[in-house]
Each structure stands twice: as structure tokens, then as C-alpha cells.
Amino acid sequence: MSEYPSGSPEDRETLAKMPTEKLLDYFFLQIRNLWRVDGLYFLGIEQKFGTDAATEVDAGVWELMAGIEAKSLQRMFKVDENPDVGIIMDLLCKSSWALDQPFKTVEVSGKRAVLRIDRCRTQETRLSKGLCEFPCKKVRFGYLKSFAKTLNPNVEVNCLVCPPDKHPKDSWCKWEFKL
């Protein structure tokens, strides 16, 4: 049992009886739902107060969430203090944000890693609704920097490209992590 168990024993038993594939589908559905709520809140704030205000709120929320999520994953997977970049990327790939990004590439070499998002559900959804690209650089930078620095304060996070920056058609954003 984990340090922070969730659900009743009955709920856990019900989930434990699910076939693995169905449990994974259910798990990813719940992550998707988390991001749907995030998007709906953002759109509501954006409609009432504008994109700048919504971005400001979103950036603050996700910066805090990153620290909480990083520490929770660190405890769950029993990762020591100040892990190297490879371990940080492994934990990041287990985060709710990264799990909702199926079109990502992570390259780790020594004390450096690069994360690239080739397709972005958030951006694609906005564009399909006739909305402009979301200038997500501030939100994503705060999240990734907070996540990495919570695990190891010696990690430097750099944005190589992210909207509102011009980006190649086959890549929405690219981030560098280095010790």
C-alpha cells in the first residue's frame, strides 16, 4: 500500500479485478479528464478575463502542481535527493502532463536531456475550435523548471522553442535540461 492511498478498499479491489489493458485505458481516461478540466477552466477564465489573465492563473497553478507532482513521484518511486537528468526525465515521463503527451521524444545523453513535443493536443484542439495558438511558453516553462528543480536544484531548464515562438510544423515545443 502506498504512503498516500486513494479510494476505499472496495474501490481498490474493483480496480484490481480489471484486466490490465482495461485498467490502463481507465487510467489514461482519468488523466485525459484531468486535462479536460484544466482546459475548461482555462477557457472560462480566458472568455471572462482574456488570454493574459488566464495564462497568468494557469502558470501559477502548474508551477505549484509541478512541485507537488515531482515530490509525490519521487516518494512513490523511491528516488534519492538530487537525481541525475536521466532519472528526472524518467519521473517527468510519469507525470500527468507527460502521460497526456503521446507524441513526445526524450533524448538523454550524460548530463543533458532534450524533450520535444511533436504534436500537442491542447494546441490542436484550440486550432480545431477556431482559436489562436495558446502562448504556452510561460506556463510550460514554469511547470518544467519547477518539476526539475524540486528534484534537483542544480538542473537548468531552457526553452529551445515553444509558442508564442515560431516553431517548425513538426514540433510544438522543445526543452533542454542540464546539470
- Which listed CATH number (1.10.287, 2.60.40, 3.30.1380, 2.60.120) goes with 9-178? 3.30.1380
Rounded to the nearest angstrom, the gap between the alpha carbon of residue 96 and the centroid of all alpha carbons in its chain is: 5
Residue 164: all three cell numbers together:
508564442
pLDDT tens-digit profile of 65-83? 999 999 999 999 999 999 9
Residue 119: all three cell numbers together:
504534436
Indicate the average pLDDT of the chain.
93
Mean pLDDT confidence for 12-19:
93
105 φ/ψ angles, rounded to the nearest 5 degrees: -130, 135
pTM of the prediction? 0.89
d(CA 34, CA 36): 5
Q: What angle do CA 104, 105, 108 make, to 5 degrees?
A: 140
pLDDT tens-digit profile of 107-148? 999 999 999 999 998 888 889 989 888 889 999 999 999 999
